[in-house]
Chains A and B, each alone.
Chain A
Amino acid sequence: MILIKCPYCGERDQSEFSNGGEAHVIRPKNPGSLSDKDWGEYVFYRNNPKGIFYERWVHSHGCKKWFNAVRNTSTDQILRVYKVNEKRPDLSDFKNTLKSPSGEPLVGSGNFAVKK
């Protein structure tokens, strides 16, 4: 179970929230002149890192407000919660706990085939 700290209501169970996928995706200003490839990138492609991820949440069973979070997807640890009008925190603020791109963290992973 994850606890998420809504910037408006405080700490609540994750089941009160809905996830909105990657944060800071900007709609292209000139869709008409984009190539199919670039438009496809905007519509279908999202980052999917193992490790530090910027994402959106909405407190759907609470205040119904959207906000952003930085989470380590390899452990589900939430590292920062910030309002949508706040500046995106720098990647260098956070420590990646993985030794290799698809490695397993020592704590927080259920992959016991690899963790020893």
Chain B
Amino acid sequence: MNAPDRYERFVVPEGVKKVSYERDTKIINAATFTIEREDHTVGNILRMQLHQDPNVLFAGYKLPHPLQYKIIVRVSFLCPLVHAIEIHTTSQSSPTQAYNQAINDLDKELDCLKSAFEMLVMFVGGDGEVYKQLLIQAQGTMLVPVQSWKNQRLSVCLGYGLWLTSEL
């Protein structure tokens, strides 16, 4: 009777912000982001992407409780006191900028993955004839289909170091 609606798991209630952030009062250049109605899917990729950023000292996320449908991401930046000189000479960034940059980078990676995958489907979807034609067309371009020893798998490299292999 009093069971919450199933959609409460992924629909942000009215009047609640999807993302909010709070600066740490004790540690300089650290912030906590609270993302409503998200889970490990977004939390983990964000955390790993933030780890790629050389300016990020710490990045972690937690799902406080399985029935609280939110995640908390904590980002701590290299302290400007330690890197005072670099901060003044290189571009200044903050946890919020790092956070958005991580999302932009992930977005780019997914764009690239999408085009590589579309290419793959084009190659292997349909019959082998399409594949053979494309193989000829692809010669001399940056797209290098590699046939493995079995002659049944196809790898496509499409820049950004992304590789896809599929069975024909």
Do A and B interact?
no
